[in-house]
Amino acid sequence: MVKQNIEKHFNRLTKKQRIVANYVLHHPSFVSTHAAKKVGERIGTSETTVLRFCTEIGLEGYAHLQKELTMYLFEQSSSASTLGKYLSQGLQAQPTDNLWQKTIQKDIERMEKMAQFISAEKFSEATRKLHEAKDIYIIGTDASKYAASWLAFILNLIRPNVFEMPLETHAKIRTLQKMDEKSLVIIISQHRYAKETLQMAEWLQGQNVDMLGITDSNVAPLHEFVPFTFVLEQVEQSTIDLMPLLTIFLNALVSGMTTYDPAYYEARKINFDKIEQQFILNKWS
């Protein structure tokens, strides 16, 4: 209930109240057991801002917020770790349980739910941007880096000028300086939302560089800097559970991009196949 209230009212919250909102979502245990003044001190704002946040999202006061959070924590059984929840299905299963079918079916259900919230018009615009951009840069740090690397690898097979953000600081700075109005920057930001990624998004926003965001919550901090963002929302904030869906969504973006000029991308595929046959397959002769 708290999460839905925050998402419903998030756009009309002040900047300071949004900071409170994000803290409540990411640290419900602390908020449910500490006074409003203590919460304000923890996030660098006033007790008044915390109290006003409660009324802005439709609650009667701070005590009401704590009650809602206590119920939420009980329902979520948040004492279990993300990894523990991920492994529990396999640890509790028997060899004869057809676990692979159950696991795949669970991911299918998640994909169907995710697909319901993807706008067809927004998806079409995103794939057009991918096709038309002169240069594509992909940013993803920590857990998001694996998805960023996969996307960079696939795009590099079928179109030119695709670059993944490097790890080394000075290389990052040089790469940021190359981005301009003809570039498209894809930013993947999953919970726990790496600060470095958000700092780069904020800088690029100031440079008016076109960005496409992918995150996992309607109130993720990436929205502040990248209005054009897809939300692949999960019941639990788990980068482990999200990864299969994220990969499928990225694959769909690539497929959508190729529809804008099938002949061009088919020619790229044929050329790649020729190179592969000559230089890669012969490696094993």
CATH number of the domain at 117, please: 3.40.50.10490
Q: Is the pTM of this model over 0.85?
A: no
Q: What is the CATH number of the domain that holds 69?
A: 1.10.10.10
Do 58 and 122 share a domain, yes or no?
no
Whether the Cβ atoms of residue 187 and residue 212 lie closer than 8 Å to each other: yes
Do 240 and 124 share a domain, yes or no?
yes
DSSP symbol at 216: S
φ and ψ at residue 238, rounded to 5 degrees: -130, 115
Encode pLDDT of 214-259 as tens digits.
998 887 889 989 999 999 976 555 667 788 889 999 999 999 999 9
Q: Residue 63, Cβ neighbours under 10 Å: how many?
A: 11
Average pLDDT over residues 155-184: 95
Do 71 and 120 share a domain, yes or no?
no
Specify the pairing of strand 135-139 against strand 229-231.
unpaired
Residue 34 counted as domain residue: yes
**Confidence band (pLDDT; 50, 70, 90) for 99?**
confident
Cα dihedral: 155, 252, 236, 149 (round 10): -10
Where is the domain boundary, 27, 48, 76? 76
Question: How many domains are contained in the chain?
Answer: 2
Do 139 and 11 share a domain, yes or no?
no
Q: What is the pLDDT of residue 238?
A: 62
Residue 87 counted as domain residue: no
Do 124 and 17 share a domain, yes or no?
no
What tokens were used for 95?
Answer: 């060899």
- Domain hosting 139: range is 112-279
Do 149 and 252 share a domain, yes or no?
yes
CA–CA gap between residue 138 and residue 51 (Å, rounded) = 39
Q: What is the pLDDT of residue 75?
A: 66
By CB atoms closer than 10 A (0-12, 13-18, 19+), residue 77 is exposed
Do 234 and 136 share a domain, yes or no?
yes
188's enclosing H/E stretch is strand 183-189
**Confidence band (pLDDT; 50, 70, 90) for 96?**
low
CA–CA gap between residue 48 and residue 40 (Å, rounded) = 8
CA–CA gap between residue 222 and residue 191 (Å, rounded) = 11
Q: Residue 167, Cβ neighbours under 10 Å: how many?
A: 9
Whether the Cβ atoms of residue 54 and residue 64 lie closer than 8 Å to each other: yes
